[in-house]
Amino acid sequence: MKNTPIQLHVVTRIVAFIILIFSIFLFFAGHNNPGGGFIGGLMTASALVLLYLSFDLKTIKRVLPFDYAYVIGAGLLLATLTGVAGMFFGFPYLTQFFEYFQLPILGETELTTALPFDLGIYLVVVGFTLLVILTVAEDDS
């Protein structure tokens, strides 16, 4: 390949990981600080868009062999089922619970059902953004 943008590739490799890590941070920070599933998802999608922009579609597809339609489906399923869980114990749909646990390594940690719900949102947002952008980009007609 002629004119391979070496600098771009190198920088992308580093930056993309930083963005990904930041996006995961945002996702987990959501409950107590700015962030959450939506922002985290968008940030992850941005990192992946950056990868797609600097490398060609085929390469990234080989590295990340996801069908984003399934990612959306998984996210929706997760978010929907989180709400259903509480119903088995007689609570209204989408009732969220939280409790503090003493976990190894992490110490006292708050575990909440809002997290899988947020994860569902995260997955849908990632899937949505990439599916739309890739579909439009791949359209060569």
Partner 1 sequence: MSTLHIIPLAPFLFAFLIPLFYKKFRHIHTGWFVLPLPLIIFIYLLQFLPLGGTAFQPVEVTVAWVASLGIDFTVYLDGLSLLFALLISGIGTLVVLYSIYYIANKRDEPLNNFYVYLLMFMGAMLGVVLSDNLIVLYVFWELTSLSSALLIGYWYHKERSRYGAQKSMLITVTGGFAMLAGFTLLYLMTGTFSVQEIIAMSDQIAASPYFVPAMILVLAGAFTKSAQFPFHIWLPDAMEAPTPVSAYLHSATMVKAGIYLVARLTPLFGGQAEWFWIVTGFGLLTLLWGSVSAVRQKDLKGILAFSTVSQLGLIMSLLGMGSAAFHYDVIDGESLYTVAILAAVFHLFNHATFKGSLFMVVGIIDHETGTRDIRKLGGLMAIMPVTFTISLIGVASMAGLPPFNGFLSKEIFFEGALNITTLDMFNVETLGFLIPVVAWIASVFTFVYSMMMFFQTFTGKHKPEELPKHAHEAPVGMLISPAVLGLMVIVFGLFPNMLAYTVIEPAMQSILPGLLGEGEQFYVNIYHWHGLNTELLMTMGVVLIGTALFLNFDKLQQTAFYLGERDPLNGAYDNGLTGLISGAQYVDGVQMTGKLRHYFTYMFVFLVAVLSYALIRTNAFAIDFANTAQISPYMFFIILALSLATIAVPFMTKRVPAIILVGIIGFLVALIFVVIRAPDLALTQLLVETVMVVLFLLVFYHLPELRKESFKPVFKWSNLLISLSVGAVVTITGLSAHAFSHGHDISPISDYFVENAYALAGGENIVNVILVDFRGLDTLLEVFVLGIVALGVVVLIKYKASGREEV
Q: Candidates 6-14, 58-66, 101-109, 117-125 — which segment interacts with partner 1 by CB under 8 A?
A: 117-125
Nearer to partner 1 by C-beta: 33 or 59? 33
Binding-site string for partner 1 from residue 66 to residue 105, where x marks contact by CB under 8 A and - marks none: --xx--xx-xx--xx--x---------xx-x-x-------
Any contact of residue 117 with partner 1 (CB under 8 A)? yes
Binding residue for partner 1, selected from 15, 20, 46, 85, defined by CB under 8 A: 46
Binding residue for partner 1, selected from 49, 60, 61, 85, defined by CB under 8 A: 49
Residues in the interface with partner 1 (CB under 8 A) total 49
The number of beta carbons lying within 10 Å of the beta carbon of residue 79 is 20
Which 5-44 positions form the footprint of partner 1 (CB under 8 A)? 26, 30-39, 42-43
The contacts of residue 120 (CB under 8 Å, 6+ apart) are: 37, 74, 75, 76, 77, 78, 79, 80, 82
DSSP string, the chain: -TT--HHHHHHHHHHHHHHHHHHHHHHHHTTTSS--HHHHHHHHHHHHHHHHHHS-HHHHHHHS---HHHHHHHHHHHHHHHHHHHHTTTPPTT---EEEEEETTTEEEEEETHHHHHHHHHHHHHHHHHHHHHHHHH---
Instruction: Catalog residues that contact partner 1 under the rule CB under 8 A.
Output: 26, 30-39, 42-43, 45-46, 49, 68-69, 72-73, 75-76, 79-80, 83, 93-94, 96, 98, 110, 112, 114, 117-118, 120-121, 124-125, 127-129, 131-133, 135-137, 139, 141
